[in-house]
């Protein structure tokens, strides 16, 4: 089986070669390495350019929205950048003022439109504003709802907007039945899986430092929720990720 980790944060300062080797050994052939501010996006791109099977995004996380977007658009033109993000709204932590988060989110949707890349969205405890901004600004953009944590209602609203739902280790947590319901109703052509590593390690590794090699644990629970074979989910989510991000796997 082949997998894509559609959203991870690789640490070039840590045991990167080992992490990539273990991913490959687990069948996780392709990785999307996600930036969270201008500096980390630059770092993510460098890792992608230096390692086969790794692509990058450039974006500013809502936590870092107050730091501004200076230099971001230029980065999106770099080789192996396949999306803008992660960007969005996080009203759980409120690390940046909400108005600043909304402005940075809308501005990144505008950048994505200008440069013609999909957008990776982080939404936490901010669904109404997220939907409002996407409806107003996303136009014909391809949208990936990363680390989807909503239930069936939010899933339907995302799907109505044409978005993809990317499921993370949260789908494996016993206290997240609504996320499994969302995974069950997601059309096969809108389904993605990710680790969001090093955060949110899936069961049975919960609490440990997460890594891309564990994306099959996410896929197995998604498959169970959908009543499908694991291989089916692996194949679908791999095809979807290659298509959404335009991964040049040749």
Residues that bind Zn ion (CB under 5 A): 196
CB 61 → Zn ion: shortest distance, Å? 7
Residue nearest to Zn ion (CB): 196
Nearer to Zn ion, 90 or 196 (CB): 196
Distance (Å, whole) CA 222 – CA 139: 29
Nearest to Zn ion of 37, 196 (CB atom) = 196
Report the relative pairing of strands 191-193 and 3-8 from DSSP bridges.
Answer: unpaired
Q: How far is the CB of 86 from Zn ion (least distance, A)?
A: 5
Q: How far is the CB of 250 from Zn ion (least distance, A)?
A: 27
Q: 109 with 141: CB under 8 angstroms?
A: yes
CB of 118 to Zn ion, least distance (A): 15
* DSSP H or E segment with residue 10: none
Task: Give 157's Cβ-side CA count (13 Å radius).
Answer: 13
- Cβ nearer to Zn ion, comparing 214 with 226: 214
Order of strands across the sheet with 81-90? 3-8, 28-33, 54-58, 81-90, 119-124, 143-145, 164-167, 191-193
Residue number, 42 or 156, with CB nearest to Zn ion: 42
């Amino acid at each position: 089986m082949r997998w894509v980790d559609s959203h991870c944060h690789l640490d070039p300062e840590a045991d990167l070669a080992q992490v990539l080797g273990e991913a490959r050994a687990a069948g996780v052939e392709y990785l999307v390495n996600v930036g969270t501010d201008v500096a980390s996006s630059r770092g993510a791109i460098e890792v992608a350019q230096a390692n086969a099977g790794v692509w990058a995004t450039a974006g500013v996380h809502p936590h870092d929205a107050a730091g501004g977007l200076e230099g971001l658009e230029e980065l999106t033109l770099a080789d192996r950048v396949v999306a803008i993000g992660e960007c969005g709204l996080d009203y759980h932590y409120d690390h940046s003022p909400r108005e600043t988060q909304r402005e940075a989110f809308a501005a990144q949707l505008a950048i994505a439109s200008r440069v013609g890349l999909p957008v990776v969205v982080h939404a936490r405890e901010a669904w109404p504003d997220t939907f409002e901004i996407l409806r107003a600004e996303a136009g014909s953009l391809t949208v990936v709802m990363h680390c989807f944590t909503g239930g069936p209602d939010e899933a339907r609203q995302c799907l109505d907007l044409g978005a993809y739902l990317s499921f993370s280790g949260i789908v494996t947590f016993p206290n997240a039945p609504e996320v499994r319901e969302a995974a069950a109703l997601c059309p096969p052509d809108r389904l993605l899986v990710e680790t969001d590593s090093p955060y949110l390690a899936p069961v049975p590794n919960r609490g440990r430092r997460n890594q891309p090699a564990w994306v099959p644990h996410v896929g197995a629970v998604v498959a169970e929720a959908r009543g499908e074979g694991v291989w089916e989910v692996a194949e679908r989510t791999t095809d979807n990720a290659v298509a959404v991000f335009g991964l040049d796997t040749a």
